[in-house]
Amino acid sequence: MRIAFLTAPEGVEQVELTDPWQAAVDAGHEPVLVSTKSGEIQAFDHLDRADTFVVDEVVGEVPVESFGGLVLPGGVANPDFLRMKPEAVAFVKDFFAQGRPVAAICHAAWTLVEADVVRGRELTSWPSLRTDIRNAGGTWVDEQVKICDHGPNKLVTSRKPGDLKAFCEAFLDVFAEEGGR
């Protein structure tokens, strides 16, 4: 299955990109780095610059139909940037409209809030997003991983880097259940 990993050009939390990416590779999937512009993205280790990664596809130029699922890594700056880009928000909305599975960790829930896809769903995130999720009509829970199947697709969410092992296992199980389209 091809899995889109949507990130901003700068600000993604590196471990929240690389651990799920490697888990997808190890499970036989094809991860694809999608960003708002071509070139490279700059990852961070909290507030410190980390590695750069080459962008495979540009959002708005690649159809959602070419992917079986979507992973949204966190980092504070990453989803804050993405939620201000209409093409990124539309990309996320399209996964929900087409019933494709989505996984988001940490601050990535901000992109889900902006896409207006949390209403009526239970999800988790970094605790500071609790009020944003509630204000967007979602129910925030403090759990390592939350799988919500309310709506047209399954949504897997997780709180923080310390939950990555459980997050990777959960999204890979859900994506396998949903099958590659």
- Which of 110, 109, 96 lies closest to 149 in space, CA to CA? 96
In the 8-state DSSP scheme, what is residue 62?
B
CB 156 within 8 A of CB 170: yes
Which residues are the active-site residues? 107
**Rg, C-alpha atoms of the chain:** 14
Rounded Cα distance, 125 and 157, in Å: 7
Beta-carbon contacts of 95 under 8 Å, excluding residues fewer than 6 positions away, are 64, 67, 69, 70, 101, 102, 153
